[in-house]
Each structure stands twice: as C-alpha cells, then as structure tokens.
Amino acid sequence: MQNALLIDMKNVGKIYAQEAMETHALTMANLQLSPGSFLAITGPSGCGKSTLLSIMGLLDRFTTGSYRFKGLDTAVLDRDSRASLRNHHIGFIFQSFNLIHHLTAAENVALPLSWRKDLTKDAREAHTQQALEKVGLSHRCNHYPCQLSGGQQQRVAIARAMAGNPDLILADEPTGSLDSKNANHILDLLGQLHEDGATICLATHHPKMASGASRAIELLDGQIVAEHRV
C-alpha cells in the first residue's frame, strides 16, 4: 500500500538487567514513520537515542510493547529472519564509520551486498559503483580506509548504507567524529538522499544536524518528551 507505515512502534520499552539492577533505556515509546520521511531523534547523551535506533534497525530486541516494520511483527522473527530483513531493507551509518580496514572503499561498500542472493555479481558491482559515485568517491574506490580522511570514510559508510537501496537508513551521530566542514557535507549528502526518496532516521544532539530533517522527536531519560515539525 502506498501510504502504509514503514515503522509502527507502540509502547516500546527496553530494560537492561545487570545483576540486581535494571536500567530502563527506553520507556513507552510510540513512533510511526511513513516512507519518504526524514526524522531527527534528538536529546542529550545517554537519553536513549542509540537504543531506539538499534531497535528500529533490528539490532536489538525490545522488552515491552510492539514493533511492526513494513507491517511485519518483528517480535516473532528469529535471528536469521531479522538478519535477512536488515540486509534487504535497512542501511546503517555509525559515528565511528565501522569500515573494515583491510578492505578497499569499494569492497567495504560491496560487503553487505555479498549476502544478497537476489543480486548477481554484476548487479552488486553496479550498485557499488553507483553508490560511490553518488557520494563523490568513485575515484577513491581502490583506496583503503587509512588512505582516506575522516569525511571520506564517512562518505564510504554512507555509500555502503545506501548501496542496496534500503527502505530505511539509520544514522547514529554520523558527524560526531568530524569537523564542521565535513559535518556540513554529510548533512547536505543526507538531505540529497532524502530528496531522492530515501527514508532517513538521524540520531543527533546537534541542533544544526536536526534542522535538516522534516520532523523531530526529543528523548529524555528514555522517553519521547516532545515532537515537532522542523
């Protein structure tokens, strides 16, 4: 359905239990997201932004509530089904880039595609080339991460996230390790991806990064305390 929700979270909570202590990282989170949205998740460090993104990206399981992704009840998915859903439908961008240092830029971008049985080798190569071209790094495809600047490494990470044409791109403080010039470039690049049709969820504590989104929610102590249009 054209207007079907991509993400539908109801009363989602996450509790981390350590010995006799429980940490409520997320409490009663309600969030609906339609395809083509650009959502900023804001709040101070430790407020639950990364936890929310991890649950949205099926990297972590919630403790309470319900979460449907593209209409699927994620609570009933086993480990392999969750991994397949992530690989086909979700792209990730991390603050620390998470590139594999012994692989070239092109090999890093192509790595998640290598697990896609629906793509031929030629299709994987084409997706990789197109993604690197989109972030302006096709000329650096054979360079290793140590031969790239921080901004270039993050652009490779963005290319990796978008190479498989995912339904959702999750970016967790993607400019946290960059200077202001490179941070602005990454923000512009995310904005261009959104204009091209990508659905983006961006976790940030930086007001300027959040201003690039069309909608924002604010987290505090694991709870969504405000929501507004940017």
Q: Are 131 and 163 in contact (CB under 8 A)?
A: yes
| Residue at 126 is within a domain | yes
H/E element holding 121? Answer: helix 121-134
> Above 90 in pLDDT, residue 135?
yes
Look at residue 1 in the predicted model and tell me its pLDDT: 40
Domain range spanning residue 22? 7-229
| Residue at 2 is within a domain | no
Token digits for 34?
């339609």
pLDDT digits (tens, 9 = 90+) for 139-184: 999 999 999 999 999 999 999 999 999 999 999 999 888 888 888 8
Token digits for 84?
């397949």
Q: How many CA atoms lie within 13 A of 12 on its CB side?
A: 26
| Residue at 173 is within a domain | yes
Look at residue 208 in the predicted model and tell me its pLDDT: 79
Total number of domains in the chain: 1
Q: CATH code at 145?
A: 3.40.50.300
H/E element holding 95? Answer: none
| Residue at 203 is within a domain | yes
Q: What is the mean pLDDT of residues 42-54?
A: 93
The angle at the Cα of 157, spanning 152 to 163, to the nearest 5 degrees, equals 120
Look at residue 3 in the predicted model and tell me its pLDDT: 53
What SS3 class is residue 149? Answer: coil
Distance CA 92, CA 197 (A): 16
| Residue at 204 is within a domain | yes
Distance CA 41, CA 157 (A): 20
What proportion of the chain, given as a percentage, has pLDDT over 70? 98
pLDDT digits (tens, 9 = 90+) for 92-128: 999 889 999 999 999 999 999 999 989 999 999 999 9
> Picking from 31-35, 142-146, 156-160, 190-194, which range would have the lowest pLDDT averaged per residue?
190-194
| Residue at 99 is within a domain | yes
Residue 52: how many CB atoms within 10 A of its CB?
29
Q: How many residues does the chain have?
A: 230
Question: Which of these, 128, 220, 212, 79, lies nearest to 120 by C-alpha position?
Answer: 128
Q: Which pTM does this prediction carry?
A: 0.91
Q: What is the mean pLDDT of residues 81-92?
A: 94
| Residue at 1 is within a domain | no
> Above 70 in pLDDT, residue 2?
no
